[in-house]
Amino acid sequence: CTYMTLLNTFYNLGETWTFSVAIGMIDFLTFKQCSLDHQNSCSTTNLKNMCKTIGGDCVVIVNGYYVEMAVCTIVGIIWFSIFRKILKKVQSKGPSNWLVDIKRPIK
């Protein structure tokens, strides 16, 4: 039971930080521009305030969500092509390879 708890803890940690990074990257990959001053990229708080001071709005030019989805899809395709043979080998194993035999002596 203890090993399963430890395994579950590692799983939760591995899953949690990847979601946090993925959501954090969306804002990093989003590109904005001031509607009245095209030189202003609205990348910092000061630049956003300058844009609002002159009466403009920070308009999204490139949405980071779509950039991240494209990058993650490409990485996923590359990962799958690298590990395809290993995945096929694991999938071809029968159910007896996944069962634990308690009566078998430990070597």
Residue 6 has pLDDT above 60, yes or no: yes
Residue 19 has pLDDT above 70, yes or no: yes
How confident is the model over 71-105, as pLDDT tens digits? 999 999 999 999 999 999 999 998 888 877 777 66
CA 55 – CA 79 distance, rounded (Å): 47
CA 98 – CA 11 distance, rounded (Å): 20
| Residue recorded with tokens 């990348």 | 43
Classify strands 58-62 and 31-34 as parallel, antiparallel or unpaired: antiparallel
Domain edges within the chain:
2-94
What's the mean pLDDT in 28-34? 95
For residues 62 and 88, the answer to whether their CB atoms sit within 8 Å is: no
Per-residue pLDDT band for 16 (boundaries 50, 70, 90) equals confident
Higher local confidence (pLDDT), 17 or 62:
62
The per-residue pLDDT for 1 is 56
How confident is the model over 34-79, as pLDDT tens digits? 999 999 999 999 999 999 999 999 999 999 999 999 999 999 999 9
